[in-house]
Chain A
Amino acid sequence: MERYGVEIRVNGRPMKAEVAAADTLLEVLRDKLGALEVKNGCGQGDCGACTVLLDGKAVNSCLTLAVQADGADVITLKGLGTPDDPHPLQEAFVEHGAIQCGFCTSGMVLAAKSFLDENPDPTRDEIREGISGNLCRCTGYTKIVDAIEDVARRAKVGGRS
């Protein structure tokens, strides 16, 4: 099978991989580049658990071919922030109890980040629309919307989002 060399910057670090044409970005991130924080929930673009930021935009990595990400910047949950330098969304998700089992969290936080970049001052309904591609089975979404709303509100008075 023909292999293609791709170079993807994952969380700022340039990484190389040999991939097949049909390999998805999700497979390559998890199996070849060690980004196990990216989750596989359905592999069919329905659940959003595998969401990453591709050049700043949220994508389902299971529907993105690895070759499409050649030369691109990929941000995963670990690249968004760390315990020492957390992203406000990460702090807000913890503070608001927006995490239960945590399996959707990776994709959900990144979807929220991409959404707030486009709509920094959303209504709750807009937030609900914005994250409707990401399924959560534990929280019932209310606390997730609370967390995202809180970050937007704080950014308005001078934080980052």
Chain B
Amino acid sequence: MTTDARTGDKETVERPVPGQDLETPDYKVIGRRLPRHDARDKVYGQTKYADDRPIDGMLHAKVLRSQYAAARLVSIDTSAAAQMPGVHTVLTAKDVPCNETTSKFGQTHTAGGFEGLYRVLADKKVRYMGEAVALVAAETLEQAELAARAIKVEYEPLPGVFDPREAMKPDAYRVGEEDSNLVCTYKIRRGDVDEAFKTADVVVENTYHVPFGDHVYIEPESGVAWIDEDDVITIRASTQVIEHFRDIADIMKVPHNKVRVIAPMLGGGFGGKEDITVEAFLALLTWRTKRPVSLTFSREESLLAHSKRHPYFMTYRTGATADGKLVALDAELISDAGGYAYLSPWVLLYSTVCATGPYKVPHVKVDAYTVLTNNTFTSAYRGFGAPQVCFAYELQMDALAEKLGLSPLELRELNYLHTGDETGTGHVMQTAVWTDETAREAYAALGKPTTPRSPRERIGRGLASGMQSYGRLIYMHDTSRSYVGFELDGTLVVRCGVQDIGGGQASSLATIAAEVLGVPLDDVTVYFGDTALTPLAGTTTATRQLYMSGNATLKAARAVRDALAVKAGEMLGVNPECLDLKDRAFHVLAADGATCSPEELPGPLPLKDVLKACASAGIPLWNLAQFNAPAREVEDVQNVHGQILPDFTFGTHAAEVAVDIDTGQVQVLKFVAAFDVGQAINCLSAEGQLEGGSVCGLGYALLEDLKLNNGETMTPALDTYLVPTAKDTPDVVPIMLQSGGGIGPFGAKGIGEPSSTSGAPAIANAVADAIGVRINELPLTPERVLTALKTQEMDAAATGER
């Protein structure tokens, strides 16, 4: 790639060539471009997802959902439904042993201020349209659906409130039982923004709005449950968090060791399977009927009733000196939590922490609010609050650059954070920060501008840099465990309670173990996602699994290696430190300054012989290791300062777009994602994350808009809620930089969420570059583009008249 960002003299966009590995120092499997270990099963149709293991005697479940967004539940009559053919049970709130708990998300440490109400089935008051009111289990799905329709629910409609800004007002309709709709607030007070703005030569202030979004994993929410021996409620479900087993047990009022959750391979997660979906319903129904029960949400149900990405209203004021240095940033963030809090407080905290982006801003004031409304509830979604603010701060940067007469890249280069600098909360970055490099590479890779294909087409290019954490809030005292052990034949087993949501979470653990223990990838089997049989590894969320479980696996593998090396050293008569374990054997390395030639060295000693000797001597062939993330107690949750998250991934998207000024249609012609991944564990897989994340950002930019009208979803199918098809996307160019400066295994950083965060603002900035007017709202639909052009035309005419 050329590094000259200004001239960008490349003709075509260079794409990586299969078989070409990133340069990595001395690794055998790490960083290679290898097919993932789970890909073969998937391509031959052998992978069993949550809905792919029917059980004899299995019943089918249906959820009855509220037709009102805000209503008092006057009465529910299930008597007719219960008498219908094939029906085994009909359950309502009164049948749930503990219908109200706090929403926990697999954390094992209780941090104050984050837990909201989790209500299994609606009771007294309905808070959003689609809220679960009753459950049915019947012999067939059709019977369950008919019975659900026969349940008589009497509602008393209530006014409701549907805009978080309205809901914040003191006299607003109360969504829940509390006397305020405000779920929580955060603030940052750093320096003195009022004084700092006085020193600014240029100030830009804008209001931004981003919409509701749906995850649209291709596999809807799904699971099967049964009662196993010893009364263990066993749930095999598509979930990112098997450790909801504790919450399920609390709901069922049974001991924690009587609930087992298994997560098979998932057909996508993106945060939407972080909350409980089918698990509590399945537990209740199987417990009541003593029969296996299956429940899969329809696509409509998934779109109507499951969690959404938070819409935000954001007001940003950013000031800079004439020479382009940021001096102050003042932001107000208002997020719509929907009917229940779920993860809204956490998402908002991430937004607050990331509100200033990857920039040095000496004076910062942020006020953030998340508010209950009678809209569909909102929770985790790839990026977890970072994409919303990235859209705002990156459009602000371009607006500032324009006023200052600097190029977007120049202004950013003047302000990027570096190692040793403080983030917006005052977290001093100790790890690698390569945002500059990613921006230069991304922009350069756009090459020469494309020539418009018609006089009515405008070409524009834009970039956006992002800052996104990997690993959970350090308040959570996060931990993960992994077991690595050899079998006597030299094959390897990894047991780790990760959920594999499609990102290669299990495969990366196999790669790490294979690297350390000198075996080919094919020699490793990974057992994952089972609360009873695999060591608990926490959630597959927060871009944390490679970091957390990767480190736990690395620790366990190294312990096994070290124990075997002692035995091997003994057998070879050399110091274990002189041994290298590769190609299924211990090899003796010539020590520094040693004069012996390789022929004089003993060995190599086959791994199998060492394993046999260890087994005979009672030396364990396995290790179970725990990795603890950095932790601190919450001093003052609301007053956000210092280190909040373990580390960040930095990267830049660059886009070139064509805008048809007659139709308003935007086409992305080139799309580059340049990220410092620290160290790619599997090059092919990491590229896949960059490409997939980018297209998720493209959908956010141009298409995805879950529309609600007074709480009712107007886009309840995939022909109205549009996600990118292959036709909507260009070839994404992934550029991976490897600083080696992350805190994951081998210096890796997390890339799952960061790869998406800066995608939408890069496209929005490119559109603004093309048409000369900024649109501060997503998605950039043809209607919005045409309206912007029209406004621009009218403004120009008005100016002309003056």
Contact = CB atoms under 8 A, between A and B. Distances in A.
Contact of B687 (A41, A76, A78, A97): A97
B679 to A, nearest CB: 18
B504 interface: yes
Contact of A132 (B298, B694, B719, B726): B726
Given A95-B35, A100-B504, A132-B726, A47 B731 contact: no
Contacts of B594: none
B29 to A, nearest CB: 15
Given A77-B45, A97-B35, A105-B43, A47 B718 contact: yes
B22 to A, nearest CB: 14
B732 A140 contact: yes
Q: Which of A36, A40, A142, A144: most chain B CB closer than 10 A?
A: A142
A103 B219 contact: yes
A106 B219 contact: no
Contacts of A104: 218, 267
Kindly list the 3 A-B residue pairs having the minimum CB-CB distance in the complex, ordered from nearest.
A101-B502, A37-B45, A103-B267
B638 to A, nearest CB: 35
A135 B218 contact: yes
A142 B36 contact: no
Contact of A141 (B47, B218, B695): B695
Interface stretch (B48-56, B145-153, B167-175): B48-56
A97 B18 CA distance: 10
Contacts of A122: none
Given A39-B218, A97-B687, A44 B726 contact: no
A120 interface: no
20 contacts: A36-B52, A37-B45, A37-B46, A39-B267, A41-B219, A42-B220, A99-B43, A102-B42, A103-B49, A103-B268, A124-B731, A127-B726, A129-B726, A132-B725, A137-B215, A138-B688, A139-B695, A140-B691, A140-B696, A142-B691
A109 B717 contact: no
B729 interface: yes
A3 to B, nearest CB: 14
B39 A93 contact: yes
A143 B732 CA distance: 9
Given A44-B717, A142-B691, A101 B267 contact: yes
A139 B727 CA distance: 14
A44 B303 CA distance: 13
Nearest to A36: B52
B685 A97 contact: yes
B741 to A, nearest CB: 25
Given A39-B267, A44-B299, A145 B45 contact: no
Contact of A135 (B40, B296, B718): B718
Given A31-B54, A137-B268, 4 more contacts: A46-B299, A100-B692, A137-B216, A140-B695
A151 interface: no
Interface in A102-146: 102-106, 109, 124, 127-129, 131-146
Interface residues of A, number: 54
A96 interface: yes
B200 to A, nearest CB: 39
Contacts of B723: 135, 137
A102 B684 contact: no
B502 A102 contact: yes
A94 B219 contact: no
Given A97-B35, A97-B687, A127-B726, A140 B692 contact: yes
Nearest to B720: A46
Contact of B726 (A82, A128, A138): A128
B503 interface: yes
Among A43, A44, A78, A136, find the residue whose CB has the most chain B CB atoms closer than 10 A: A136
Interface in B24-47: 33, 35-36, 38-47
Contacts of A90: 43-44
A70 B253 CA distance: 50
B725 A135 contact: yes
A145 B268 CA distance: 20
A145 B696 CA distance: 17
A131 B726 contact: yes
Interface in B695-722: 695-696, 717-719
A143 B299 contact: no
A159 interface: no
Contacts of A101: 217-219, 265-268, 501-503
Interface of B: 18, 33, 35-36, 38-49, 51-52, 54, 215-220, 265-268, 270, 296, 298-299, 501-504, 684-685, 687-688, 691-696, 717-719, 723-727, 729, 731-732
Contacts of B40: 83, 94
* Interface-centre pick from B216, B267, B726, B727 (highest chain A CB count, 10 A): B726
A49 interface: yes
A44 B268 contact: no
A141 B727 CA distance: 9
Given A93-B43, A140-B692, A135 B216 contact: yes
Contacts of B52: 36
A149 to B, nearest CB: 10
A103 B265 CA distance: 9
Nearest to B718: A46
A100 B726 contact: no
A102 B45 CA distance: 9
Most buried by B among A43, A76, A101: A101
Nearest to A38: B45
A76 B693 contact: no
A105 B692 CA distance: 15
A133 B421 CA distance: 47
Contact of B42 (A36, A44, A105, A141): A105
Given A100-B688, A101-B219, A132-B726, A142 B43 contact: no
Contacts of A131: 726
B573 to A, nearest CB: 44
Given A39-B218, A97-B687, A101-B219, A109 B726 contact: no
A60 B541 CA distance: 32
A11 B732 CA distance: 36
Contact of B44 (A44, A83, A144): A83
Contacts of A144: 726
B299 A43 contact: yes
B703 to A, nearest CB: 12
A100 B719 CA distance: 24
Given A36-B48, A103-B219, A128-B726, A41 B299 contact: yes
A97 B15 CA distance: 14
B502 A95 contact: no
B45 A96 contact: no
A59 to B, nearest CB: 17
A95 B18 contact: yes
A106 B725 contact: no
Specify which of B41, B51, B219 lies most central, judged by the most chain A CB atoms within 10 Å of its CB: B219
Nearest to A78: B45
Contacts of B43: 77, 90, 93-94, 99, 102, 105, 109
A32 to B, nearest CB: 11
Given A100-B692, A135-B718, A139-B688, A41 B220 contact: yes
